[in-house]
Amino acid sequence: MAARFARHAQALDRLQERGRLRQLLPRKGQDFASNDYLGLADSDVLRQAAGDAIARGVPVGAGGSRLLRGNADEHQQLEDEAAAFFGTQAALFMGGGFNANMAIFSTLPQQGDLVLFDALIHASAHDGMRLGRAETRSFAHSDVQAAGDAIAAWRNEGGAGRIWIAVEGVYSMDGDIAPVSDLFQLAQQHDAVLVVDEAHSTAVMGDLGRGVAHAVAHHKNVLCLHTCGKGLGVSGALICGARVLVDTLINKARSFIYATAPSPLNAALVRAALREVAENHDLRRRARATVDHAHREAARLCGLSGFQSQIMPVIIGGDKPTMALAHGLQEIGYDIRGIRPPTVPRGTSRLRLSITLNTDAGVISSMFSDLAQLRQDFT
């Protein structure tokens, strides 16, 4: 049996040698790794919502795809409430952000169209584009002028279809914020569709936590993806936009049509999370204060600056020193993970520090103090 899978074993050995072997680690230590930005995942709010939903008879399982018997009242109510909250014509609930991006990019851009994507767009968008029929091109990260130049070049080469501009609201590994307003103006200029993955901005950024693109989300040429497993503390994803686009996904997106529906109980929990985010304004105030404190302490204790959000990348460079530093911080009680290629570009391996309401100001200060010391030892 070992000989039969020798190539697999050798590939794993090479990853080990390069410091890139991935392993599943348990939850341990102070949370600087999760995307539970508002601390909702283990909250009494969602625990109570789960009990209430079960008590009123909400099913735990869906029992089938949404197009068969899997379509529950909780799914429909969530989609109606999400569309109203995010300010769009319609919303579609899916099992996760990866599947949702697969659905968007494999289904909506048509043959003859162009998907113009930010160079740091998420892997799920890349996989969706590979399954789609549209041409794809990248532009330099958050460079609106480069995006405009790419559009002009494509048109000059004879490109005649629709253009789909794909970006993230907050970039998952760099933590910087997309220039959504300028990108929307570019989309308007070229009759393009702007697709914004709000995974790391949902519940955290924008008016009432409605994302960085909320001011333009009501336009029919804007499509937003709001994942439910980060700031909202549950799981799943909501694709929000024009009714015609949502109906197209229902009819043609394979990752929607052929997937068992998300749990109706999960939909009920997302509904509760959306209500909490809309009504509890103190959540975002406390989250913002915690993030601001982390930014100040990073500068004071480590000389690190330039952060824009709750995601704070500390670039180390090499794979092995990055993982050694992460392990050292884990040993003294901080759940901090190292991020390596291909998730990030070569030579930019990093610690991805995630600031959430699960960790208080004192722990954050202690972590940056320890990080300052260990950086000298491991890099």
- C-alpha distance from residue 184 to each of 81, 144, 175 (Å): 25, 10, 20
Determine contact, residues 134/104, Cβ cutoff 8 Å.
no
How does pLDDT run across 320-344, given as a tens digit for each residue?
A: 999 999 999 999 999 999 999 999 9
pLDDT digits 0-9 by tens, 135-166: 999 999 999 999 999 999 999 999 999 999 99
Cα separation, 354 vs 291, in Å, equals 9
Fold of 24-40+281-378: Aspartate Aminotransferase, domain 1 (3.90.1150)
- Looking at the chain, the domain(s) classified CATH 3.40.640.10 span 58-279
CATH code 3.90.1150.10 region(s) in the chain: 24-40+281-378
**3-class SS of residue 74:** helix
Full pLDDT tens readout for the chain, 379 residues? 567 898 998 999 998 888 888 888 888 899 999 999 999 999 999 999 999 999 999 999 999 999 999 999 999 999 999 999 999 999 999 999 999 999 999 999 999 999 999 999 999 999 999 999 999 999 999 999 999 999 999 999 999 999 999 999 999 999 999 999 999 999 999 999 999 999 999 999 999 999 999 999 999 999 999 999 999 999 999 999 999 999 999 999 999 999 999 999 999 999 999 999 999 999 999 999 999 999 999 999 999 999 999 999 999 999 999 999 999 999 999 999 999 999 999 999 999 999 999 999 999 999 999 999 999 876 6
Active site residues: 35, 122, 168, 172, 197, 200, 230
Single pTM value for the model? 0.94
Sort 56 into a burial class: Cβ within 10 Å, 0-12 / 13-18 / 19+. exposed
The fold adopted by the segment(s) 58-279 is Aspartate Aminotransferase; domain 2 (3.40.640)
DSSP string, 113-165: -EEEEETT--HHHHHHHHHSSSEEEEE-TT-HHHHHHHHHHHHHTT--S-EEE
